[in-house]
Chains A and B, each alone.
Chain A
Amino acid sequence: MEPITRRSFITLSLRLAAMMGLGSSAVPAMADALERIVRGRAPALWLQGQCCSGCSVSLLDSEPLGADQLLTRQIALAFHQTLSGATGHQAVETVDRAIAAGGFILVVEGSVPASMPRACFFGEENFGSQLLRAARAAKAVVAVGTCATSGGIPAAEGNPTGATSVPAFLTRSGVATPCISIPGCPAHPDWIVGTLVHVLQFGLPQLDKAGRPAAFFGKLVHDQCPRFADYERENFAKNFGDDGCLFHLGCAGPLTRADCNLRQWNGGTNTCIRAGAPCIGCAWEGFAAKRDFPFYLKNDHTRPAEGDRT
């Protein structure tokens, strides 16, 4: 998809302004209008499966592109269960109208209870059935958060609902709509916004083998760690609250691909590792999956044998 640049709108606006006898002060507003007309704000539909709404809450923490800008300037969000004015049958009709019209980007938060459809309902329809209807009509699917991308905690060992990731469920059901994965528990707002805006304005971003945007998930947490020098010097923290590399406390930075150490959370306020907390691998595809793979190596009796973690 050929990107349309801001410059091309300004060039066009300059010509139009000259033709219409308007001064140069009219150009930015005209460029805005043209941009909107040409691009339209591509419609998006946000559905929730077995989720905690944490990725939606994370999206509200977006900055500098705040939620108001996002909802009114960047994305035409047809429906979102936590934000929509529509209630009850109105909500069901709103979603159904969007699906009937097609051509939207489908954003999915949460996993699918594949072996227990009763475990997630929207109106009178189980979530799996709603998801398949929507995904078939969508231009692209964006799975947001680790529950959607790899099953996450709902799919962890011992789970009773057969929770399944969105891409696995769609593939199993023969839906071929392209699917982008944005892991993270929650997903960082920049990862969601950056991906959506890229898809809407420039087409599919460069993806890795797991369907993740390479721009956000190309490097290991460990490689961009503020405590990397401690690791190099073998200066390891022994207890929580200690200085030093957190590897011996169970840090999953060497397994997890995500740019959170550079990007930081909550508008640059902090990061897990800066706050002394080992990375628990929330964007890693194996996040929380196994009982015998604890988040922390503090408990001598549940830690795996040396070497098992990598």
Chain B
Amino acid sequence: MGPSPPLGVGHAGRVLSPTVRPFAMKETITVSPVTRIEGHLGVTIETDGGRVASARVVGEMFRGFERILRGRDPLDAQQVTQRICGVCPVEHGIASVLAQDAAYGIAPPPNGRIARNLAQAANFIASHITHFYLLSGLDFVDVAQVTTYTGNDSALIALRDWAKSELATNTVNAGGPFLPQFPAQLIRDPELNLGILRHYLEALEVRRDAHKLGALFLGKLPHAAALIPGGITEKITAIQIAAARALLARLATFVEQVYVPDVVAVATAFPAYFSLGRSCGNFLAYDAFPQSDGGSPLLPAGALRDGRLERVDIAAITEDVRYSWYSSPSGLRPTAGETEPAPDKPDAYSWLKAPRYAGSPMEVGTLARLLVAYRDGRTPAVKSAIDSLLKTTGRTPADLDSVLGRHAARAVESKLLVERCAAWLEELRPDRPSCVDFKIPATASGVGLTEAARGALGHWIEIREHRIANYQCVVPTTWNCSPRDDNGRPGPLEHSLVGTPVADPAQPIEAARVIRSFDPCIACAVH
């Protein structure tokens, strides 16, 4: 850590509106790249008096998937769209096969539907554990503290000896990739700190097990091979169910005994983050995890605006591009969406479009779907899990709308999913079919709505002359990290950053915690 820059100078050396009173000081802080998220993200923050006054969130990478899909065989879609994101491939594959199921007029048999749920849940759990420990963890955990470890845990001893030998050398970037960190404001309690560091190492193994659970049904992860319209290509066998039970037991132990308690401990150590990162007040979720009884899905759809829960009307979804690097028309519905890149467009500042629901920015993600399910009430397990969390942490439902609320929601959802997966496994029937046959019509269209780990995911397919005529994806992080819309309203993350204190402009750790609480995925968001 270097010395703090002189007042009035941002870390990048830019001189910024110097004023007389230090606490009225305006500064511009650029956090780019934001690491420990998926992909290429930058955030520019204007502070005033030591707090964020406004923020611009910049998606820094574009590939053009929607353009590449045009003219291809419709069946390519669930494989191509999985490659939008290596962290969320299963969810893209599922959104795509749901869109195609609708377009072809088919539905998977029970084995196919359940196996899709299991693989999707496995990817959620892998993603949530990865997010808390590998991505966000280093915003809280002091890695260098392991050098003082005196206990007898072999993994921590190995890490200690590694860290000591690294720090003793004069090589560049000693301690990489974990160091350097922003050293400010990390966990002070050595026992908690070392405990979470130990669990970081365990999380590496557990997320691998979660991927194995998905691969049992879908061939491999990331980028699942066996997803197909009408179900999955893999056959269900007794040994596969037994192997899945064993993997699931390990996941359940970690989630219940380690992940949930660690989130509660971090929440207790950083209580201020229950009031930072407050949302724009609007939440959107789609139906996810269809249940075998034909009743409500495990996690129901809903649009929560100004405290009122509404049914989702997908015709209310539009995408603005005034501040995005596209020249295609603004405000289009996904069914008529266009993606014409214009990298030199004046005033634009991001590769993300700005999706809006009836004109409103909407936060999506685990917190959104749990708040919707809590209000919806058809899944009692969600209500009891959230009530139990609030009791443990001594919080109110309003506190969940925060940095820590987002972390806690992921832990609660992971617990809910390991429990549901155990029940779904028992519903699989070996030697019954896991897919149905289908024909691809010359002309058809379909919408696939589901939830990714990071939130509401929609795919829209239009088929003409047996080929893809148009394909549009409206993706979780596109909602959360969107730039301003045509009316100048900021996106959910841009909104949530406002008011965040930044004690040291050279180490904007507070802003980094708000950003990472959304678990941004830029490869998804731009595609």
Contacts and interface: CB of A to CB of B under 8 A. Distances in A.
Interface string B199-225: 001001101100110011111111101
A53 B226 contact: no
B225 A158 contact: no
A56 B86 contact: yes
A299 B180 contact: no
B61 A271 contact: no
A87 B30 CA distance: 11
A52 B219 contact: no
Contacts of A9: none
A12 interface: no
- Is the interface on chain A under 10, 10 to 19, 20 to 34, or 35 or more residues? 35 or more
Given A90-B180, A294-B75, A294-B76, A275 B219 contact: yes
B416 interface: no
A119 B179 contact: no
A120 B61 contact: yes
Contacts of B395: none
A288 B180 CA distance: 39
Given A53-B86, A83-B36, A277 B219 contact: yes
B177 interface: yes
A122 B219 contact: no
A68 B201 contact: yes
Interface in B269-312: none
Interface stretch (B77-85, B368-376, B380-388): B77-85
A224 interface: no
Given A118-B343, A299-B466, A302-B466, A97 B70 contact: no
B347 to A, nearest CB: 15
A271 B219 contact: yes
B465 interface: yes
Given A82-B36, A118-B325, A88 B31 contact: yes
A300 B42 CA distance: 45
Contacts of A56: 86
Interface string A180-207: 0000011000000000000000000000
Contacts of A160: 64, 67, 341
Contacts of A72: 158-159, 162
Given A51-B523, A121-B40, A88 B34 contact: yes
The secondary-structure label for the interface of chain A is: loop
A185 B224 CA distance: 10
Contact of A241 (B30, B36, B231): B231
Contacts of A124: 32
Nearest to B139: A87
A161 B86 contact: no
B219 A272 contact: yes
A175 interface: no
Contacts, number: 304
A31 interface: no
Contact of B216 (A77, A81, A185, A270): A270
Interface string B79-110: 11001111101000000000000000000000
A52 B11 CA distance: 30
Contact of B435 (A36, A240, A267, A269): A240
B326 to A, nearest CB: 11
A158 B215 CA distance: 31
Interface in B36-67: 36-40, 42, 60-65, 67
Contacts of A16: none
B57 to A, nearest CB: 14
Interface in B140-158: 143, 155, 158
B413 interface: no
Contact of A82 (B35, B42, B159): B35
Nearest to B215: A266
B94 to A, nearest CB: 15
B204 A67 contact: yes
A170 interface: no
Contacts of B234: 270, 275-277
Given A50-B61, A81-B35, A153-B83, 18 more contacts: A52-B87, A53-B38, A54-B89, A54-B222, A83-B177, A85-B177, A86-B181, A89-B506, A98-B172, A101-B171, A161-B62, A161-B63, A240-B231, A265-B215, A269-B212, A275-B218, A277-B233, A294-B72
16 contacts: A52-B83, A60-B208, A68-B155, A68-B159, A82-B36, A86-B181, A91-B33, A92-B32, A94-B176, A159-B67, A159-B68, A266-B212, A266-B221, A271-B219, A272-B220, A294-B76
